[in-house]
Chain A
């Protein structure tokens, strides 16, 4: 169930919040999520050796045109007739395996691909998608196509089921407009929408500021109020005051790691001053200023991972993510150059930058974070691909399967589902004679990652992805994670 509501006043005194109220003050600063007794028990059962594997997600909202991002040049259906002005000739693309090639805007991922740490997945989706952005995004996030209206995320269920919040103030973090459904569930996690200004009363000086910031955490922790929103507001407030001090200590504004290959280039361009020069780019810079919030989000995500200290559990971020809007290109999508190209280039630069900083390879990096590349997986999601035939407005409409990128030190790199063996003739018209046919369910991809990389307890499978077993999705798993 999404939530309880209208609980009677008589029953209020027995919620878990009364437990929190009793212990809230004494344990101030010791995150609310660590107080749930069931989590302690599960932790003891599920995580004997401990694990500090991490997962980072980037949701490409609007529906990424997988056929132009990872181009099936080996399929004669990828042609000028079908793709019109969006067609990208093989000579302009980056060959991966003689069959699939990457959009030229994705060139920045090739270092990781060539190192064998990037898996390029195609034909990922789920059956009978509605082709509604909002339903299909929700399904990718809630993990259950049978319940498109469910507002609870499979990642949130994984976190609870595996007690990632045990002892950690900050098990999960999102840096985007609002908390994604992926991370919604019975606990609240931290969301940061404006990395540069995430601070309480930044316009006040001390000691006046403390006249507010001392009582407010107490007020929210002890908040009385009926369901559903009294407890939710209280949990959220406790989380807010847990994160604020840490976030301040991360000092993200003054962390500017650079690219070892171009030592003057910032890995996270968040301002004109940190935007690499590019004579052909907007305003003589490599990226449009519209890209700054995306790179700032990636920068904070990277910091949350690098600052995560599983030994002290002072932070403990294991799951974090962001979103990038703008992929719904019904018109003027562009081929080489144009809007789709631009968005892909942001993603590729971001994936490359994450690899560099999480590998401890950045320069201009006095903090000296060690490599956590082997512990980390970074993946992209998008709710659907787009029509095989362009729509006459030099754009594409909503469709079915699309591509994904999965990278990390333990990833079996390579191309999946886009070679002669896995891409038979006709699949580009395999659904309704209009859309790319899915080969692998997204749940199979993520369950592999959760189980083989994140150490998810196998018994939790049906909690995280209901119906996985009966649907036989295990047979679609791709073997993405190297056995350690």
Chain B
């Protein structure tokens, strides 16, 4: 059998597929053409020829082939028998292979068979041919490895491809693109006019809608795609909810209509409270953003635990000696660090709540805003001195008694407390106690496990294995990283470095969140957005409103949570709504408000890409968006639906003379294909 495989020209179907368990060598059937082409010398600008000499090693799933001098790397495609019968040569199975061999990770099920196809590729010359079927027609590869990998990397490290990111990944290659994204400061946004214009209108964010809009604009237009993804990930992990925060500030700055004698009353209520409440959330998000690529998890935990937004949201400001409120303390361990099965007890919740007594918020001068013991500005409503709402520690509200956290475990830590509970020294001791407790929580073995699992669920797979988690935990615990133990950039890098991240069987095996879905649609069709016009409505309809989640878990990354009839409906509606609007309004001058901006230009993208939009080019137009939206993986029947749209008048009669509106409609139709929800 193997001998035959080695020497036969076209192998095709080597025998009947049986339902009985066949001998191992017969599970595998190899498909390749050996046209006898030789390529003289290494000319990398030229596409490699067809790959020759494809064979199996004795284990029957390790492939090897003859190297082609023009190939920088090789791609392996794999298909099942059923796919082959349907004329498809399979998905990208492995790519970027520098050597002329590949160990396929798994054997087919008994009674099934795989076919393999290998191509060579060079950066400059592109991918070599896949050859022809025995009948003479070319073999059809769905998508192709290079397109598949590039789309995958752009989808997972951010919000899908736009013109900038596609060019960038073509230039740098997938690994180079990932490395660059992991160093966001190395990517200049200085000439990213679209990003800077819309963010400029939203700086500072004056209310929750503007805070959400900043995220939408950044997700759509930023080149630092991974930074946006991770900033939102951490903000969502340490989730705060705008509504109760605003409610507290509403008390501080009541309406002058209701409280005319209150010197803090706001004649334009609720503008001041919205501004100040949003400011607390915004500053927390920005601190987390910076730490995501230049800090440790321990630092993030501290930012969150002491952020005024969180102290309000989880009732920390109500947590006082003698009258504890355990809401915040529980979530610090359950949601923010160790996970619900992390090994803490109800007693630990109560102890941590006592450790966390005494925190509240107030306005402080800018220079001392970071000092929890600095004095507050009493007349906080006065324009001077300039100040900032921040967290504040009140020793007389603190429980200074002795405490033991994680009692009876290896992580046990005991605090003696202080006999008095009023002096600056007592306050310093109480703050040190809190820091030590956070140290112990961050260092608890459950914490890197829980956080690494969530990072893997964001970037790699909904169901990470323990082996994958362990790989991230190993990086977490490596004190040699630039930020030391818990260096979050390096843990993120570890997730992207896992073999499974580029295991192409797993490529579409996640589902976009609604924000990811809408942002990717904008990016794909030259969409433009002010961050809220229309898009905010669709975020509400699909139940994904960043920084406005009622419950402190944040939004899910798991596809099972997002695939439902409501989400599918509104995502389909959104795609058509997006292509229904042009972008002319986005360029209007502020008057005095910035222009409302929501729309797209899929026709302009075609023209700029050298695809004629004149009638007679329907196939190329559909193929272009098949590439942009689906990395070329649409089935013929799906492409036919888009073609039918283009070549049919709205009343249903055949009409080959399509116009721009119909091109837009065809793109909207494709945006509504269910697999556009795959990430």
Binds A, one of B257-265, B403-411, B488-496, B572-580: B572-580
Task: Assess whether A12 is in contact with B315, with CB atoms less than 8 Å apart.
Answer: no
Are A211's CB and B81's CB within 8 A? no
- On chain A, the residues within 8 Å of B506 by CB distance are 6
On whether the beta carbons of B560 and A232 are closer than 8 Å, the reply is: yes
The interface size of chain A toward B, counting residues with CB under 8 Å, comes to 78
User: Is there a chain B Cβ closer than 8 Å to A34's Cβ?
Assistant: no
**B637 lies within 8 A of chain A by Cβ:** yes
A134, A232, A331: the one within 8 Å of B553 (CB): A134
Q: In the complex, are the beta carbons of B678 and A225 less than 8 A apart?
A: yes
What is the size, in residues, of chain B's interface with A at 8 Å between Cβ atoms?
A: 80
Complex CA–CA separation, A13 to B559 (angstroms): 23
Shortest C-beta distance, A87 to chain B (Å), equals 16
| CB-CB under 8 A for A230 and B565, given A211-B669, A325-B551 | no
- Contact (Cβ within 8 A) B323 A204: no
Does A10 lie within 8 Å of B325, measured CB to CB? no
Complex: how many Å from CA A437 to CA B400?
Answer: 32
Residue of B nearest to A232 (CB): B563
Identify which of A155-163, A192-200, A280-288 touches chain B.
Answer: A192-200
Q: Which residues of B contact A225 (CB under 8 A)?
A: 508, 674-675, 678
B320 touches A392 (CB 8 A): yes
Given A10-B112, A211-B669, A330-B315: A229 touches B559 (CB 8 Å cut-off)? yes
User: B108 near A178 (CB under 8 angstroms)?
Assistant: no
B648 close to A (CB within 8 Å): yes
Q: Which of B326-334, B360-368, B602-610 contacts A (4 or more CB under 8 A)?
A: B326-334
Q: How far is the CB of A255 from chain B (nearest CB, A)?
A: 20
Cα separation A215 to B673 with both chains bound (whole Å): 10
**Nearest CB in chain A to that of B668: its residue:** A212
Contact between A395 and B315, CB atoms less than 8 A apart: yes
Is A11 part of the binding interface, using a Cβ–Cβ cutoff of 8 Å?
A: yes
Q: Which residue of A lies closest to B675 (CB)?
A: A225
Instruction: Assess whether A148 is in contact with B340, with CB atoms less than 8 Å apart.
Output: yes
Segment at the B interface, from A42-50, A237-245, A460-468:
A237-245
A379 to B144, CA, bound (A): 53
B428 at the A interface (CB under 8 A): no
Q: Please indicate the chain B residues that have their CB under 8 angstroms from the CB of A207 in the complex.
A: 650-652
In chain A, positions 138-154 with a C-beta closer than 8 Å to chain B are 148, 151
Is A222 in contact with B669, judged by CB distance below 8 angstroms? no
Interface stretch among A65-73, A125-133, A365-373, A416-424? A125-133
Q: What's the least CB distance linking A246 to chain B, in Å?
A: 12
Smallest Cβ-Cβ distance to B90: which chain A residue: A9
Is the Cβ of A393 less than 8 Å from the Cβ of B323?
yes
Q: B79 at the A/B interface (Cβ < 8 Å)?
A: yes
From A177, A236, A393, give the contact of B565 (CB < 8 A): A236
- A-binding segment of B184-192, B522-530, B638-646: B638-646
Interface membership of B91, Cβ < 8 A: yes
> What separation, in Å, do the CA atoms of A478 and B114 have in the docked complex?
57
Cβ-based interface call for A456 (8 A): no
Tell me whether B620 is interfacial, beta carbon within 8 Å.
no
Query: For residue B556, which residue of chain A has the nearest CB?
Result: A178
Given A224-B635, A395-B315, also A151-B509 (CB < 8 A)? no
A319 CB-CB contact with B under 8 Å = no
List, in ascending order, chain A residues with CB within 8 A of B340's CB: 130, 132, 134-135, 148
Partner of A397, one of B320, B327, B576: B327
Task: Given A10-B80, A148-B340, A208-B650, verify A391-B323 contact (CB < 8 Å).
Answer: yes
Is A274 positioned at the interface, with any CB of B under 8 Å from its CB?
no
B566, CB-defined interface residue at 8 Å: yes
Which chain A residue lies CB-closest to B91?
Answer: A9
The segment out of A99-107, A183-191, A261-269, A348-356 that lies at the interface is A183-191
B576 and A198 within 8 A (CB) = no
Cα(A299)–Cα(B496), bound, Å:
47
Decide: A212 and B326 in contact? CB cutoff 8 A: no
- Residues B509 and A222 in contact, CB atoms below 8 Å apart: no
Q: How far is the CB of A309 from chain B (nearest CB, A)?
A: 21
For B106, list chain A residues within 8 Å (CB): 8
- Given A178-B562, A226-B509, A229-B509, the answer on whether A11 and B678 have CB atoms closer than 8 Å is no
> Of the candidates B108, B542, B563, B652, which one forms a contact with A233 in the assembled complex, judged by CB atoms under 8 Å apart?
B563
A469 lies within 8 A of chain B by Cβ: no
B323 and A236 contact, CB distance less than 8 A: no
Given contacts A10-B108, A130-B340, contact A212 B346 (CB under 8 A): no
Q: State whether the Cβ of B665 lies closer than 8 Å to any Cβ in chain A.
A: yes
- Interface check A220, CB cutoff 8 A: yes
Query: Within the assembled complex, what's the spacing in Å between the Cα atoms of A194 and B560?
Result: 19
Min CB–CB distance A21 → chain B (angstroms): 11
Pairwise interchain contact B566-A331, C-beta atoms closer than 8 A:
no
Contact across chains for A222 and B637 when beta carbons are under 8 A apart: yes
Closest chain B CB from A305 CB (angstroms): 18
Distance of B517 from chain A, by nearest CB (Å): 12
Q: Residue B439 at the A interface, CB < 8 A?
A: no
Contact check: which of B315, B324, B580 meets A331 at CB < 8 Å?
A: B315
Question: Chain A contacts of B672 at CB under 8 A?
Answer: 212, 216, 219
- B573-A201 in contact (CB<8A): yes
| Cross-chain contact of A12 among B82, B318, B327, B564 (Cβ < 8 A) | B82
B78 at interface by CB-CB < 8 Å: yes
Q: How far is the CA of A328 from the CA of B341 in the complex (A)?
A: 21
CA distance A330 to B327 in the complex (A): 7
Given A135-B340, A398-B330 in contact, is the A228-B559 Cβ separation under 8 Å? Answer: yes
Residue of B nearest to A132 (CB): B340
- Chain A contacts for B511, CB-based, 8 A: 229, 233
Report how far A240 CA is from B569 CA in the complex, Å: 7
Task: Establish whether residues A219 and B638, one from each chain, have CB atoms under 8 Å apart when the complex forms.
Answer: yes
Task: Contact check, A237 vs B327: say whether CB atoms are below 8 A apart.
Answer: no
Q: Is the CB of B550 within 8 A of A233?
A: no
Within 8 A of B (CB), among A425-440: 432
A223 within 8 A of B: yes
List, in ascending order, chain B residues with CB within 8 A of A188's CB.
563-565
Q: Nearest-CB distance from A44 to chain B (Å)?
A: 28
Among B523-543, those with CB < 8 Å from A are: 541-543
- Do B566 and A191 have beta carbons less than 8 Å apart? yes
Give, as a whole number of angstroms, the nearest-CB distance from A228 to chain B: 7
Contact assessment for A211 and B650 in the assembled complex, using a CB-CB cutoff below 8 Å: yes
- Checking B509, B573, B669 against A202 with a beta-carbon cut-off of 8 angstroms, the contacting residue is B573
Per-position binary interface string of chain A over residues 311-352, scored 1 when its CB falls under 8 Å from any chain B CB and 0 otherwise: 000000000000001101011000000000000000000000
Contact B463 A5 (CB under 8 A): yes
Query: Is A271 in the interface zone, CB < 8 Å from B?
Result: no
Q: How far is the CA of A216 from the CA of B346 in the complex (A)?
A: 51
* Separation of A233 and B675 alpha carbons in the complex (Å): 7
B163 at the interface (CB under 8 A from A): no
Tell me which of B326, B560, B641 has the highest count of chain A C-beta atoms within 10 A of its own C-beta. Answer: B560
Q: Taking A8-B80, A211-B650 as contacts, is the C-beta distance between A392 and B325 under 8 angstroms?
A: yes
Interface string of B5-31 (1 = CB under 8 A from A): 000000000000000000000000000
Please give, as numbers and ranges, the residues of chain A lying within 8 Å of B564 by CB-CB distance.
178-179, 188, 191, 236
Q: Could you write out 27 A-B pairs with CB less than 8 Å apart? A: A5-B509, A8-B80, A8-B114, A9-B78, A10-B80, A10-B113, A11-B112, A133-B551, A134-B551, A148-B340, A178-B562, A178-B564, A193-B566, A200-B572, A203-B580, A207-B651, A207-B652, A215-B645, A216-B572, A216-B669, A224-B635, A233-B568, A233-B678, A234-B674, A236-B563, A240-B568, A393-B318
Chain A: residues with CB nearer than 8 A to chain B?
2-3, 5-6, 8-13, 61-62, 130-135, 148, 151, 177-179, 184, 188, 190-194, 197-204, 207-208, 210-212, 215-216, 218-220, 222-230, 232-234, 236-237, 239-240, 243-244, 325-326, 328, 330-331, 391-393, 395, 397-398, 432
Shortest beta-carbon contacts, A-B, top 9: A392-B323, A13-B82, A10-B80, A393-B318, A10-B112, A193-B566, A9-B80, A10-B108, A191-B564
| Chain B positions near chain A (C-beta within 8 angstroms) | 78-83, 90-91, 106, 108-109, 112-114, 314-315, 318-320, 322-327, 330, 334, 340-341, 346, 462-463, 505-506, 508-511, 541-543, 550-551, 553, 559-570, 572-573, 576-577, 580, 635, 637-638, 641, 644-645, 648, 650-652, 665, 668-669, 672-675, 677-678
